[in-house]
Amino acid sequence: MARPTILQYSLAGLGDLLLRQQAKDLDFATVATPEQMKEMFTAENVRMINMSGEKHGTITPRINDKENFEVTTLRIDMVTDGRHAEVEFTKDWKLDANRRDLTINSMFLGFDGTVYDYFFGYEDLQNRRVAFVGDADVRIKEDYLRIMRYFRFYGRIAEKANNHDQNTLDVIKANVDGLQNVSGERIWMELKKTLQGNFAGDLLKTMLNVGIGQYIGIPNPVLKELDVLLNRSQHLDLHPMSYLAALLENIDDVTVLHARLKFSSYERDMAYFIVEHRGEKEGARPLLPYEKLVLNTKIKQKDAVDYVREVLKYRGSEKLLQQFNSWDIPRFPINGKILKDHGVPPGKMYGPIINRIKDIWIDNEYKQSTADLVKLLPGIIDEHKQK
């Protein structure tokens, strides 16, 4: 078999092409060492960034100052500890393919369009089968994050929600404790992509069934609530945080999960918001409680809108969701300057008074003007002083 010279696509690239889909990203491989690559790119005046990957054989050129590509020297893993590997460079493409996690990720594409497939990845791709290269137990022990990657790629290529190879699941179950030593950021990166893909709910349940929960910050998942969520809302393009929130009983559980997975502040606050507001709400109008959440928010209003939208999806309230999406957020016509100009002394009174007058404005469906609300100020000031 002739060797490809430099180019390799990851599944996101080559796999998509083989499935006749648009390639999303490209990974490159080469027999050139990092030093040789740096010499070549420097000679061609190509800027290189993020040199931290050099010790693992990866150089990142930035092309036309617009797009970055990772180019990695062929390598083999000499020593692994379940998280990181000490590598040795090689010129043998099959040895490099052998260190890959999944067969569908072990294929190469030459410049002439030839696919180089050492471990039947193409066959697995056509059969929509996710399989580890060689011995699954060995591959997983090399890097326990491969457990999470298995589920992510299952969602990428499988045609059925629960068509896993039982032996593969048994091997995963026997190795899940290795995830306790993998950083939360790496786990969340894979889990998030899984929950954004196909069969998100089913894959999450399978992950929990093999015992992943306790090692990713969900020691006591509320499976009944997850089933309720999937039955009523799975078709509503749920955010990954909705799936996770369903497994959590209270906001303390959100704190525990965040401590393990290290969410962004946006994701963390969404989880808190969903858990806090997913229950029934009463109001003069069904949408009113959710309008209040937006208008009285202490966070960015844009984020509050996103969070309310997600709560409505979580609850399966499609009619309310449609109404909320059509709602034009009104502007509260009172501010601190107006209060000051109409006799409200600066200080601690400002907050309670402005909140009270805003409640009145909301209850009257935002119909009152600045002049209307100003007329109410004397009575509200007296009411506050008497407290």
pLDDT (tens, 9 = 90+) of the chain, 387 residues, equals 444 444 444 444 677 777 777 776 678 888 899 999 999 999 999 999 977 788 888 999 998 888 898 899 999 887 776 566 678 899 999 999 998 999 999 998 887 788 899 999 999 999 999 999 999 999 999 999 999 999 999 999 999 999 999 999 999 999 999 999 999 999 999 999 999 999 999 999 999 999 999 999 999 999 999 999 999 999 999 999 999 999 999 999 999 999 999 999 999 999 999 999 999 999 889 999 999 999 999 999 999 999 999 999 999 999 999 999 999 999 999 988 888 888 787 777 788 888 899 999 999 999 999 999 999 988 888 887 776
Q: Please, where in the chain does CATH 1.10.3090.10 lie?
A: 135-216, 218-329
191 and 156 Cβ atoms separated by less than 8 Å: no
Q: Please, where in the chain does CATH 3.30.460.10 lie?
A: 1-133
Select from 3.40.50.300, 3.30.460.10, 3.90.920.20, 1.10.10.10 the CATH code of 1-133.
3.30.460.10
Is residue 70 classed as helix, strand or coil in its secondary structure? strand
CA–CA separation, 272 and 22 (whole Å): 37
Structure tokens of 168?
Answer: 């593969």
Q: What is the pLDDT of residue 65?
A: 87
Q: What is the pLDDT of residue 336?
A: 85
Q: What is the pLDDT of residue 2?
A: 44
CA–CA separation, 81 and 181 (whole Å): 10
Q: What is the pLDDT of residue 331?
A: 94
Residue 52 CB coordination number (10 Å): 9
Q: What is the pLDDT of residue 4?
A: 41
Is residue 147 classed as helix, strand or coil in its secondary structure? helix
CATH superfamily of 218-329: cca-adding enzyme, domain 2 (1.10.3090.10)
Q: What is the pLDDT of residue 82?
A: 58
Token look-up 């009172």 returns: 334
Rounded (to 5) percent helix, strand, coil in the chain = 55, 10, 35
85 and 78 Cβ atoms separated by less than 8 Å: yes
CATH superfamily of 135-216: cca-adding enzyme, domain 2 (1.10.3090.10)
Structure tokens of 166?
Answer: 């039982």
Residue 300 CB coordination number (10 Å): 11
CA–CA separation, 356 and 353 (whole Å): 5
Q: What is the pLDDT of residue 20?
A: 76
Q: What is the pLDDT of residue 387?
A: 67
Instruction: Name every residue whose Cβ is closer than 8 Å to that of residue 10 and which is 6 or more positions away in sequence.
Output: 25, 26, 27, 105
Alpha helices in 68-183 (DSSP H): 93-98, 121-126, 136-142, 146-157, 166-175
